Chains A and B, each alone.
Chain A
């Protein structure tokens, strides 16, 4: 089955700096890659996603890049703010019998220091 590796497990930045989180996946048939933000005691919130026919997508301070050849994708947050502090999860949705199912990475605890 699909395997998603996420790094780093923790990331600490100063307010205003950029943060980058990277994920690799194993199933070359995967074609959908969402990123979720989870605050303590809450459910994951979709913040951005990308599909395999696109190499990059941006939404204000958040961007995601995808390299299908290398099977990795990254989340970029610019001008970080304290409210960006949370756990971030990447995920992939595989093809075939795994269509529509999300496989999650291990998560990254992002701390933005004011």
Chain B
């Protein structure tokens, strides 16, 4: 158990809908990373937050947004969902915003029908 929690574990929704994925980092970790893993694209870095502020942005679509709250949990919002957004979404946390080994959550499997 990494100490990182993600909810929900599974999510099935229709095209055009909006969903919110939640991540709670390990106790004491200030930085949260979001990743998408799809069958055809592999793992992709989406975005990083550190202590409530956006630190780095990767291949995140404009339809997606994220935030980190004062209690350090983070949410990834996906809107106007398309079939191609079906994927595993992982979050990971580190003690601060630097280069550390990351602790991954179990992931949320999103299926868009």
Question: Are A and B physically bound partners?
Answer: no
Residue positions of B touching A, CB distance < 8 A: none
Residue positions of A touching B, CB distance < 8 A: none
